[in-house]
């Protein structure tokens, strides 16, 4: 991350390093520069290629083994030595106008354990976040803008459109759960969609974005899910033991594939108020569908015939195609038990030889 990119995120004043990992609230965090593929080190002052430039330092220049030119000495009044370890503490402050503070901050950011703001902080990824009045103000403004945009979508939607948005939110939001929005009262439906716009505005925005898939096709898919015609098994969309895809965009390909017209027409007839769908631009789009049920039948057949190795081969192939398919997971225990019993039944060659010798 360049200095201009850092200032664009954090402003021009002073920023604080805020620990969120309990260990680093009391103990220092030590950072050493990571190695590059070319044998140098990532300090934030390093050069990526082999050509020397005035905007970057070579390994020798960073370690002090090669003196800096007058131009580079002016450009780099403080040099990060990649062979040294740097210590950082909870609530350390960095003046973005100070060259040495900026250099140390760039090294710290390159550890990838520091989020650029409290909003970007990820507990599973970061130990710290950088706190600045500028970044926090931007977070507030961004959140208000998102809320306003989401609320505007809901306010402008009529009752029919609200039902459509609710169907799509069942996919785009992890917190929104209305099993069948068509069967919810208009008042309750409006309240739930408003609540989503307030708490998770990005979900509402993504649900209606035109550049985020064909919304009419996605609406059909989610209506079919609501009517229990297409099943959701984990992330998978399954119809009649056939895996359609593990994302809604993959199911779109199935719907728009000309060879599936018969199935899609039956789907359209099976639900109330189906959305209007055009296929002209996507006729002939290819998509590969598989039937986990066929794999299950093969595995059971091989297990019945005690052909454990063949059953394992089919299982391994099936689980790659449909890792979240519940029936496949259920068969794994049976397959493991068969394999264990096979091992128990194998004769102990050494014991057999000992017994033969004893008889002689």
Q: Is residue 34 part of a domain?
A: yes
Domain count, the chain: 4
Tell me, yes or no, whether 39 and 91 share the same domain: yes
Same domain, 157 and 55: no
> Is residue 277 located within the same domain as residue 341?
no
Of residues 296 and 160, the one with the higher pLDDT is 160
Question: Whose CA is closest to 192, among 157, 142, 234, 231?
Answer: 157
Residue 45's SS3 state is: coil
For the chain, the average pLDDT equals 85
Is 57 domain-assigned? yes
Are 307 and 202 in the same domain?
Answer: no
Specify the range with the lowest mean pLDDT, choosing from 13-27, 113-127, 201-215, 330-344.
330-344
Does a structural domain hold residue 264?
A: yes
Q: What is the pLDDT of residue 304?
A: 75
Contacts 24+ apart (CB under 8 A), 5-12: 6/96, 6/102, 6/105, 6/106, 6/109, 7/96, 9/116, 9/117, 9/135, 10/96, 10/116, 10/130, 10/132, 10/134, 10/135, 11/96, 11/132, 11/133, 11/134, 11/135, 12/96, 12/97, 12/134
Q: Is residue 354 part of a domain?
A: no
Distance CA(35)–CA(29), nearest Å, equals 19
CA-only gyration radius of the chain, Å? 30
pTM: 0.54
| Residues 45 and 114 occupy one common structural domain | yes
Task: Please indicate, yes or no, whether residues 80 and 127 belong to a single structural domain of this protein.
Answer: yes
71 lies in which domain range?
3-137
Whether residue 185 lies inside any domain: the answer is yes
Mean pLDDT, residues 225-241: 93
Is it the case that residue 288 has pLDDT exceeding 60? no
């Amino acid at each position: 991350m360049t200095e201009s990119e850092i200032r664009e995120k954090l402003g021009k004043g002073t920023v604080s390093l805020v620990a969120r990992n309990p260990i680093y609230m009391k103990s220092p965090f030590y950072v050493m520069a990571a190695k590059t593929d070319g044998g140098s080190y990532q300090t934030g002052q390093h050069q990526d290629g082999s050509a020397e430039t005035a905007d970057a330092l070579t390994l020798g220049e960073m370690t002090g083994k090669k003196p800096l030119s007058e131009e580079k000495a002016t450009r780099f009044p403080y040099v990060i030595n990649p062979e040294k370890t740097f210590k950082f503490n909870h609530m350390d402050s960095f003046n973005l106008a100070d060259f040495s503070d900026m250099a140390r901050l760039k090294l710290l950011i390159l550890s990838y354990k520091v989020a650029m703001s409290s909003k970007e902080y990820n507990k599973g990824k970061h130990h710290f976040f950088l706190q600045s009045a500028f970044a926090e103000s931007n977070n507030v403004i961004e959140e208000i803008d998102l809320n306003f945009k989401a609320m505007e979508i809901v306010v402008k939607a009529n009752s029919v459109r609200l039902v459509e948005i609710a169907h799509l939110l069942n996919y785009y939001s992890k917190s929104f759960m209305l099993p069948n929005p068509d069967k919810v009262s208009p008042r309750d439906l409006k309240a739930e969609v408003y609540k989503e716009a307030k708490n998770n505005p990005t979900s509402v925005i993504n649900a209606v974005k035109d550049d985020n898939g064909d919304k009419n096709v996605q609406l059909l898919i989610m209506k079919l899910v609501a009517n229990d015609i297409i099943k959701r098994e984990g992330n998978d969309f399954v119809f009649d033991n056939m895996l359609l895809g593990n994302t809604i965009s993959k199911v779109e390909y199935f719907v728009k594939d000309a060879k599936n017209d018969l199935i899609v027409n039956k789907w359209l007839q099976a639900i109330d108020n189906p959305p209007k769908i055009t296929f002209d631009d996507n006729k002939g789009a290819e998509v590969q569908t598989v039937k986990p049920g066929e794999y299950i039948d093969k595995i059971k057949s091989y297990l019945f015939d005690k052909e454990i190795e063949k059953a394992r081969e089919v299982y391994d192939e099936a689980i790659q195609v449909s890792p979240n398919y519940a029936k496949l997971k259920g068969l794994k225990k049976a397959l493991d038990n068969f394999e264990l019993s096979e091992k128990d039944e194998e004769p102990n060659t050494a014991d057999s030889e000992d017994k033969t010798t004893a008889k002689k």
